[in-house]
Structure 1
Amino acid sequence: MMNSVKTYTLFTDHDVYLFKEGGHYKLYGKFGAHSVEKEGVKGVYFSVWAPNAKKVSVIGNFNNWNHKDHILFPRWDGSGIWEGFIEDLTWGTLYKYAVETARGEFLEKSDPYALSWEQNIQAASLVSTTWYEWNDKEWMESRGAKNSLDAPISVYELHLGSWLRDEKDPDRFLNYRDIAKKLIPYIKEMEFTHVEFMPVMEYPYDPSWGYQITGFYAATSRFGSPQDLMFLIDELHQNNIGVILDWVPSHFPGDANGLYRFDGSHLYEHEDPRKGFHPDWKSHIFNYGRNEVKSFLISNAMFWLDRYHADGLRVDAVTSMLHLDYSRNEGEWEPNIYGENVNLEAKAFLQEFNTAVYKQFGNSIMTIAEESSDFPMLTKPVHDGGVGFGMKWMMGWMHDTLDYFKEDFANRKFQHHKLTFASMYMYNENYMMPLSHDEVVHGKASLIYKMKGDEWQKFANLRTLYVYMYTHPGAKLLFMGDEFGQTSEWNFTQSLDWHLLKYPVHKGLQDLVKELNHLYRTEPALYENQFDKNGFEWIEADDLENSVYVYLRKGKKRDDILMTVLNLAPKVIDYKIKVSTGTHWEVIFNSDHKEYSGSGVEADLLEEKDDHGTEHEKFITIKLPPLAGVILRQKKDKKYKLHRIKHRR
């Protein structure tokens, strides 16, 4: 049968040169399926990279999946690109690439650059579009200030498939547009500044939560079309809420229709299994040293920032990328040329990725590394030898904090340093403080059940932990459900237990998080210097016997100062604190207040007293409620009226 494919190209010689050099960052405008017009006839242009293939054809529901009818043309330049134009195809056409390998195998592969995929295990690609009429111009023009390191960044992490299900049919996912109607009022009420979506790229296996991606350029069709996801992001932006997407350049699954052995060779994955196979996840690791793969991945990052208006990318599993020996025993990995365990190709890739996206979008966006080791200079500029991320998850703080709050009250004095140790390194990087989904699955228990004590003590502990988190330097991240004390571990197959909010302890915890978000957004002392050593000062770090901590947070103005006092013992204490002479203080927040289902012990300032001894000093004495966090503000003048922030119903 005569080949029904016509010659056509979207590639210039310069495009091909950049692609082969690893410097083409907009490949989504070239590869894939694009609706075009050739000599007055409308159809679809297809292009795919398969340099080791003997033949590539387009199969689909338009030709009964016959690999003989629509054979693409290999480019003459040795780039490995196959391309061609097929008449009369339109949006919604199902297709794959039939790849004949050098060995004579026939592989059926979905399009690596497809914008939509079917929702099944051997999913085909769909001819689709990312055209959308955006209405978030105001946000996009001003978002640099809201995504700045000098701005409050309080992130609500959520999994779209289990935040909320259809009330009439709990087995049915909500559409992106349905989610928008429910999510946006909630985020506004709770006063989070950003949401972070666990991967929205297409993935075949629900239990992977989206971290085993097959369609890197496709919004998962579980929740609707590309335009439906754009609507959700657009609506969030119009309501002054930023959007961070989880991005997974670390690995991909071995599904038959995916990237693995795409043209019969190790095309996207590293050929050496010591570098190309992930032993934990049984997945395949990208070959970061291959230029065309770098172009694919950096173009993918650009795609989500460009076409979907994402405000940031949280890069998953960076530790596994940077360490050749990650989850490998001796003899299962090979050192680099310096005899060390750093994956130099992965490091160079991440440096190039950060350089490229910040050059394109400036500081209007953010990149965030999920990195659990002490890899140096992760958030330092590339030109200074750093990796170039905007922020890094503060995993050490998270582990130390949770370990402390699990501890018996009588033993906390022996673990006192766990809450002070972070101050030894908290300005080494730009940190985001994560209480993420990883901490409430796989038998780890929900946050509320990690806390020590009876029910009242558990909630008191968690309220105080949140006070500590929100008044500690760094951006904040809280996983869905943790804001109201979800009692069961996160289950990706069902909705959160929203019914718990009918119980006062859960509603009180939610109200507390709401108030802390409000404080964080409105008190410059909590965000202006959150990545600057001038923003923090210990007043009392060594009171092991009382399990009390006292520290200051400072804004850029000299008199923007807050004091946090944590009482992590289950008893009331009248506590004396040394302060600067001439200062006056007021209590503005108390986690033990009855509005938060606390015991109602008022954190009263009992005394402000000057000591006119050999050194002129000043002390205040405050009543500290049990297992509570108290925040005080330095008054800006003596006429400033003492008050406590009232919870807004």
Structure 2
Amino acid sequence: MKLPQLIRNDSGLEPFASVITERMNIARQKEAELLKNGSLIDFASGHLWFGLHKANQGWVIRDWAPNATRIYMVGDFNDWQETEDYRLRALGNGDWELILEEDKLRHGQLYAFSVYWIGGNGKRIPAWCKRVVQDDHTKLFSAQVWDHEKDFEWQHPDYIRTDEAPLIYESHIGMAGEEERVHTYNEFREHVLPRIKAAGYNTVQLMAIPEHPYYGSFGYHVSSFFAPSSRFGTPEELKQLIDEAHGMGLSVIIDLVHSHAVKNEEEGLGKYDGTRFQFFHDGPRGEHPAWDSFCFNYGKDEVLHFLLSNIRYWLENFKFDGFRFDGVTSMLYFDHGLGKAFTQYADYFDGGVDQEAVSYFYLANKLIHELKPKALSIAEEVSGMPGLATPIDMGGYGFDYRMAMGVPDFWIKLIKEVPDEHWDMGQLFYELTAKRLDEKVVSYAESHDQALVGDKTLIFRLMDKEMYFSMRKDQPNLIVDRGMALHKMMRLATVTTAGGAYLNFMGNEFGHPEWIDFPREGNGWSYKHARRQWNLADNPDLRYHWLGDFDREMMQWVRQSCLLETPEVVWHFDNKEDQILSYSRGEFLMVFNFNPTRSFTDYGIPLESSKYRILFHTDAGCFGGQDRVDKQMTYYTRPAGSLGSQHYLNLYLPARTGLVLKKQAFKRVR
């Protein structure tokens, strides 16, 4: 039997070939069982049947609630009373339906289900509803009749994501403005999209789009999976945001939370039909011990129908260009990967993997790429599961990328635990480039995770309280100088070693101060830290704009040079004592001096016979540096002895500086 390419690429996986092959076989069997003679796209069509729809000369609403004995549609159209003319009829197999004349519902009216089961009843927001709103006074949620779904006219309906390496700007709509409040889709479209475009990024990642009852959950405790959050505006305003982004050449992806769901019952899926086990596992397997949430049962056909339809809904109805799947590690393992080190291959094949989740990933990624071949599928996964970001036809799970979660953890650990003068360049290069050869990763120095309350952003760890007093250009401060230099160097090192894609959380590119803290009881329900202070980056008297300017030049160079489309990062040299590191990618050479105190004159980097020009560097005065590097020179390698001996590129390397050089056409004189 021919082994999958995944195993042929890595002989270390050969002892586990039977397990790897069996996982894929079970996933294919599940696919055949679900589809019978249909297609995966046809199967993922639940949103076209369930939920509230405008029908011929009327309305129809359908739902799946197998344990229910009676269901009424209640709302402000019948004074929230249970009446027979709004009672759903059972269709069999747990499905329910209500057909109404056109004048029975109007756009904007609020509604819910009153669900009865043996021994109880409760109000429920329909699981498939596409619009949910919260009452400003009572704080209660209701579904809302929405009759504008077909009115939106796309200006860029045929947009297709290019093959460019994703340069991702991770964003949150609500905290994307400066005021202490929740901001809107329209404000993001008008004010933030132009910033992202100008900064050189090509992909926008939107967090917290599916409706979630608690704003402070950052969108990770979802209640209504088909409803874009109304706290930011209307579905049409979200579509306009995506449409205009496409017009700018920006792709838009969202965080997709299929790993778990909020426990809430009235506005969520918790005990939706009176049972815990309708959508989720019953017992301990159905509860996440760290997240206080319910875990989906991926073994149930109806749950797969719900989740796969959700994928198709976002891709087709809103024309999103892909997903960043949240909590993939939690889904993969029965123990959610908690407290496990994953130090050997056997840890991935010891029986602790949830095969039903593996089958779901197979189906989800296959569906995504059948619907949109160029769509992005990114896994937030920390264990390093072999094959996760490997194509299905090679024996993998089909994600295009996984998040390189070890990189930001490494930077934080380095800053917290190791004095500057002891940073090990060999270890640094290894940590930045460690990945499987058959997969691509999204590298990043920090995301929203490092900025949340209780943690610190990189810039705040580097400068701490000095940020409050010494970010003016006329206020010299050695701590701030150190922080500025290292902030640029860490980002330059991260993006130039990135394994196929790069990510930045909004505002971090210019060193947004402090942390992210959403309104909650513990902070007096304050929005002070749930916003972005763009004025800091725009103020010419402050140093923040220097960091933003550097990031812009760096990202535009990465994009224009197609740097990340060149997969190989070639190590050239590192010196532990001097703290010098050099490597190349294509025609570009990167040289770093992380030494905090020592600058070096004519430092030799071993290379083949060649010549270089400096494109840009972190010490430039326009980026807040000391301008100690001459960009105008052309640098030639020189032999150590005879012409056939090792050549060295001799450079002046100021302390705490990173350089990017481009190889020049070179004709050897005979």
TM category, shorter? 0.7 to 0.9
How many angstroms apart in 2 are the aligned matches of 1:236 and 1:355? 26
How many angstroms apart in 2 are the aligned matches of 1:553 and 1:278? 42
The yes-or-no answer on 1:115 pairing with 2:130 is yes
Q: Which residue of 2 aligns with 1:92?
A: 108
SS at match of 1:448: helix
Shift of 1:608: 3.3
How many angstroms apart in 1 are the aligned matches of 2:36 and 2:644? 73
Shift of 1:292: 0.4
Q: Which residue of 2 aligns with 1:239?
A: 248
Alignment of 1:450-461 (within 5 A): 450-451=461-462, 454-461=479-486
Alignment of 1:87-486 (within 5 A): 87=101, 88=103, 89-103=105-119, 105-120=120-135, 121-128=139-146, 129-131=148-150, 132-137=152-157, 139-140=159-160, 143=161, 146=162, 148=163, 151-166=164-179, 170-171=180-181, 173-257=182-266, 258-326=268-336, 340-362=351-373, 364-406=374-416, 407-413=418-424, 416-425=426-435, 427-434=437-444, 435-451=446-462, 454-474=479-499, 475-486=501-512
Task: Name the CA shift for 1:165/1:106 in 2 (closer, same or farther; >3 Å).
Answer: farther
Aligned residues of 2:389 and 2:398 also touching (Cα < 8 A): yes
- Tell me which moved more, 435-444 or 585-594: 435-444
Shift of 1:498: 2.5
Aligned residues of 1:22 and 1:295 also touching (Cα < 8 A): no
Aligned residues of 1:34 and 1:127 also touching (Cα < 8 A): no
Shift of 1:580: 1.3
How many angstroms apart in 2 are the aligned matches of 1:499 and 1:18? 58
SS at match of 2:183: coil
Q: Deviations over 1:468-500 (max 9, x none)?
A: 022113211001111111121123433212232
Q: Which residue of 2 aligns with 1:34?
A: 53
How many angstroms apart in 1 are the aligned matches of 2:166 and 2:34? 38
How many angstroms apart in 2 are the aligned matches of 1:461 and 1:178? 33
- Number of corresponding residues: 588
Among residues 624, 627, 631, which one is paired with 2:653 in the alignment?
Answer: 624
SS at match of 1:483: helix
Among residues 545, 548, 564, which one is paired with 1:527 in the alignment?
Answer: 564
How many angstroms apart in 1 are the aligned matches of 2:41 and 2:619? 56
How many angstroms apart in 1 are the aligned matches of 2:542 and 2:256? 37
Among residues 474, 489, 492, which one is paired with 2:515 in the alignment?
Answer: 489
Shift of 1:448: 0.4
Shift of 1:380: 1.1
How many angstroms apart in 2 are the aligned matches of 1:546 and 1:314? 40
Aligned residues of 1:611 and 1:618 also touching (Cα < 8 A): yes
Shift of 1:441: 1.4
Q: Which residue of 1 aligns with 2:30?
A: none
How many angstroms apart in 1 are the aligned matches of 2:196 and 2:403? 22
Task: Name the CA shift for 1:329/1:522 in 2 (closer, same or farther; >3 Å).
Answer: closer
- Tell me which moved more, 511-520 or 371-380: 371-380
How many angstroms apart in 1 are the aligned matches of 2:238 and 2:450? 27
Q: Which residue of 2 aligns with 1:643?
A: none
Task: Name the CA shift for 1:316/1:215 in 2 (closer, same or farther; >3 Å).
Answer: same
How many angstroms apart in 2 are the aligned matches of 1:295 and 1:80? 14
SS at match of 2:494: helix
How many angstroms apart in 1 are the aligned matches of 2:100 and 2:60? 6
SS at match of 1:517: helix
The yes-or-no answer on 1:562 pairing with 2:588 is yes
SS at match of 1:616: coil
SS at match of 2:509: coil
Q: Which residue of 2 aligns with 1:72?
A: 88
Q: Which residue of 2 aligns with 1:498?
A: 534
Aligned residues of 1:56 and 1:72 also touching (Cα < 8 A): yes
How many angstroms apart in 2 are the aligned matches of 1:308 and 1:247? 14
Shift of 1:428: 4.6
User: What amino acid sits opposite 2:142 in the alignment?
Assistant: A
Among residues 97, 119, 124, which one is paired with 1:83 in the alignment?
Answer: 97
How many angstroms apart in 2 are the aligned matches of 1:328 and 1:637? 54
How many angstroms apart in 2 are the aligned matches of 1:446 and 1:234? 32
User: What amino acid sits opposite 1:572 in the alignment?
Assistant: S
How many angstroms apart in 2 are the aligned matches of 1:375 and 1:152? 23
Aligned residues of 1:279 and 1:327 also touching (Cα < 8 A): no
Q: Cα RMSD (Å) of the superposition?
A: 2.6
Q: Which residue of 2 aligns with 1:11?
A: none
Q: Deviations over 1:366-395 (max 9, x none)?
A: 100011112111011223331110100001
The yes-or-no answer on 1:595 pairing with 2:605 is no
How many angstroms apart in 2 are the aligned matches of 1:547 and 1:27? 58
SS at match of 1:95: strand
User: What amino acid sits opposite 1:429 in the alignment?
Assistant: E
SS at match of 2:638: strand
SS at match of 1:100: strand
How many angstroms apart in 1 are the aligned matches of 2:349 and 2:336? 17
How many angstroms apart in 2 are the aligned matches of 1:423 and 1:467? 13
SS at match of 2:43: coil
User: What amino acid sits opposite 1:388 in the alignment?
Assistant: G
How many angstroms apart in 2 are the aligned matches of 1:548 and 1:228? 50
How many angstroms apart in 2 are the aligned matches of 1:629 and 1:224? 43
TM-score, length-scaled by structure 2: 0.83
Shift of 1:96: 1.0
Q: Which residue of 2 aligns with 1:636?
A: 665
Aligned residues of 1:504 and 1:597 also touching (Cα < 8 A): no
Structure 2, unmatched stretches of 5+, are 1-32, 341-346, 464-477, 519-526
How many angstroms apart in 2 are the aligned matches of 1:421 and 1:512? 24
Shift of 1:207: 0.9
Task: Name the CA shift for 1:450/1:497 in 2 (closer, same or farther; >3 Å).
Answer: same
Shift of 1:327: 6.5
Aligned residues of 1:268 and 1:286 also touching (Cα < 8 A): no
User: What amino acid sits opposite 1:597 in the alignment?
Assistant: G
User: What amino acid sits opposite 2:565 in the alignment?
Assistant: E
How many angstroms apart in 1 are the aligned matches of 2:336 and 2:200? 38
Aligned residues of 1:59 and 1:65 also touching (Cα < 8 A): yes
Structure 1, unmatched stretches of 5+, are 1-13, 331-335, 555-560, 640-649
How many angstroms apart in 1 are the aligned matches of 2:579 and 2:375? 40
User: What amino acid sits opposite 2:52 in the alignment?
Assistant: A
Task: Name the CA shift for 1:137/1:214 in 2 (closer, same or farther; >3 Å).
Answer: same
SS at match of 2:514: coil
Q: Which residue of 2 aligns with 1:586?
A: 613
SS at match of 2:655: coil
Task: Name the CA shift for 1:18/1:123 in 2 (closer, same or farther; >3 Å).
Answer: farther
Shift of 1:411: 2.0
